[in-house]
């Protein structure tokens, strides 16, 4: 069973860059069966898709965050990463990484990391 | 901006049936949006329930079912149990690697 694990700082200062990494286990990040995605959830609020990446490096972003987001992949480490710049308190959230299964026209998130809380505060 | 709509909350009696819906603020939900549904309890990662409109994910009890109801996707819980009390999220695939989450429905079993 595919496993994902987020890692990165739990505290980021306003105006700085939030950086998180997701390590994928059991499956290869170079698989053509998946997009790899980031989703976040502010405290007490709903889930929001941030962006996704294909192993080839093709990226797809939420239009509302596109100007501040970069998702990248490191196939040698079986990892993908999120950078969100110019953060504010509104970016405080639990950040999840997830695998998006695209085999046979499924297009859904099948495995999720446990999530990591990132707080934006000085 | 695409907005996926869900009822904010629902209450269901133990053993009862509840149907949650997933719509679009402008337009209809089609099969080609590949609706999927996720269950989330506080402090936990979401759990995949349904994908491709009506396919249950591995290990999901058959009291959860997905369908299309008119111009919306729907999730029905038949014979609700206490541990079904959770938040439920609908997600639509808009094509070109883009997904949109609904605002979630909080289901209370009482």
Q: What distance in Å separates the CA atoms of residue A59 and residue B72, rounded to the nearest whole number?
A: 29
Quote the CA–CA distance of A48 and B104 in Å, as a whole number. 11
Q: What integer is the mean pLDDT of B23-45?
A: 95
Determine the pLDDT at residue A27.
87
* Closest residue, chain A, to B58 (C-alpha): A110
Q: How far is CA A66 from the centre of its chain?
A: 13
Length of chain A: 122
- pLDDT band for position B65 (cuts 50, 70, 90): very high
Of B36, B48, B97, the CB nearest to A52: B97
Question: Hey, what are B56's tokens?
Answer: 């249950």
A19-45 pLDDT tens trace: 999 999 988 898 889 999 999 999 999
What pLDDT score does B1 carry?
83
Query: Is residue B48's pLDDT more than 80?
Result: yes
Element at A14 (helix H, strand E): none
Q: Alpha-carbon torsion A96, A99, A105, A108, what sign?
A: negative
**Stretch B76-92: mean pLDDT, rounded?**
97
Flag if A107 and B34 touch (Cβ within 8 Å): yes
Do A113 and B45 lie within an 8 Å CB cutoff?
yes
For B2, name the nearest residue in chain A, comparing CA atoms only: A63
Per-residue pLDDT at B4: 97
C-alpha separations of B25 from A26, A28, A68, B4 in Å: 39, 37, 26, 6
In the predicted structure, residue A118 carries a pLDDT above the cut 90? yes
Query: Given CB atoms, is B30 within the 8 Å cutoff of chain A?
Result: no
- Chain B contact present for A103, CB below 8 A: no
Cβ–Cβ under 8 Å, residues A52 and B94 = no
Q: What pLDDT does residue A3 have?
A: 95
């Amino acid at each position: 069973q595919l496993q994902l694990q987020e890692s990165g700082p739990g505290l980021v200062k306003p105006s700085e860059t939030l950086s998180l990494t997701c390590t994928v286990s059991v499956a290869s990040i170079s698989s053509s069966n998946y997009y790899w995605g980031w989703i976040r959830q502010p405290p007490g609020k709903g889930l929001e898709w941030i962006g996704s990446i294909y192993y080839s490096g093709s990226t797809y972003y939420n239009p509302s965050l596109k100007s501040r987001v970069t998702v990248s992949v490191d196939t040698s480490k079986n990892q993908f990463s999120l950078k969100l710049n110019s953060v504010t308190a509104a970016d405080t959230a639990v950040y999840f990484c997830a695998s998006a299964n695209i085999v046979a026209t499924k297009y859904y998130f099948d495995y999720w990391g446990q999530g990591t809380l990132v707080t934006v505060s000085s | 901006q695409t907005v996926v709509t869900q009822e904010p909350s629902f209450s269901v009696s133990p053993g009862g049936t509840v149907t949650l819906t997933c719509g679009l603020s402008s337009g209809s939900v089609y099969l080609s949006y590949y609706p999927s549904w996720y269950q989330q309890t506080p402090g936990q990662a979401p759990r995949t329930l349904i994908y491709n409109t009506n396919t249950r994910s591995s290990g999901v009890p058959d009291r959860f079912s997905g369908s299309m109801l008119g111009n919306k996707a729907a999730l029905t819980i038949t014979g609700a149990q206490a541990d079904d009390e959770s938040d439920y999220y609908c997600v639509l695939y808009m094509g070109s690697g883009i997904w949109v989450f609904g605002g979630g429905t909080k289901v209370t079993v009482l």
